[in-house]
Structure 1
């Protein structure tokens, strides 16, 4: 039996959570990052008896609207899957159920699901410095529960929260743009998981339709040379910060 961590993690929080779980389950685990678009054009096949921990961030209560469906590049073949989502302290709504459905459609047997909290992508004042030590303890408790379930040979499908049809989410058509600090180094284009930043236009032109607003480009910039300055977006973040600052959501998991 092999253990795998498969994650889409533009700013690193989901990867951190999966690595914490998988290191506890099996120090020899294999890691697959789905961040580069080329990685989502490959095929990954697994065997019955494998354990695959799959993680995505939550955007607006849903999974990221990537152009490639998980069902096109993952072949479960009966392998066990643990689904994990990370969110910025507001709500994960239908995202965990959506990920479980996609894993089932890809041929996995879903045996566990969990939702964990990370510092909000757009506001460091929301869930500041999370995952923290309490979250790490929760991640290790989740991995212990997964281990015990596997030891008992159980493959019951957990009842996960969420609704079908999934909630509609229409992100604002805005995207991070360069500011006066931009040095045209190209780090933003390298980090973008959906190739939304034009390399031909000195990394200035960003496709707002293709952009996920994942902030990978903002986090990767060495000079703080990218930001979203659209007033409606800034107001939305200010309102969200006012609503969630000081609120602490706790991890949840289901087996």
Structure 2
């Protein structure tokens, strides 16, 4: 069984994001970029499936400009067998990404498609669900545990009320949540080996997919700075300030 795992290039989670002066977007020049943390968890889940003998091949795929090869090489260094880059511009919407990923699933016919539950830049939490609809397959979102049993995969997912277990017939789309695993670090020897692993580049224009945007960003602005707090001397004073100054009670 093949496992297809999608990875997205995002601003590193440890970088403080800054808004451009013209408020058209966030500043990406000279900013450290990494694999989206949830996508990294998805890569680790795919590798664990292969190591347990439940998968025969792990294919990493990304959608974006040429620089996304850097993140695909990281996935290859972690242990993925090969990679595919669908070359496009920046800032595609989730539906466009799902359509492009769907073309890869039609060619590769994976048993499981793994994605991060969401990206830390857009926070849309839509691509996995849309891809599942395009494939006509079952989906298991917010997965905290995955177990393949024959032609089925049992997914324990996190919901508001606790944990929910779902049994999905393969092929299936699964989105990884934070507690699914702890991603491994790529060792130096594996980083060197990753340079020789196959990485195919496909131009999105050759796939015949409509990826035209449906949304337009009007303005990007930073959240307001938090005001300094104050100390109160009694509960009575606290209640008075909450009522008369904050207006919350």
Question: Which bracket does the TM-score occupy, shorter chain normalised?
Answer: 0.3 to 0.5
Give 1 or 2: higher strand fraction: 2
Q: TM-score, length-normalised on structure 2?
A: 0.33
User: Which protein has the larger Cα radius of gyration, Structure 1 or Structure 2?
Assistant: 2
TM-score normalised over the length of structure 1:
0.32
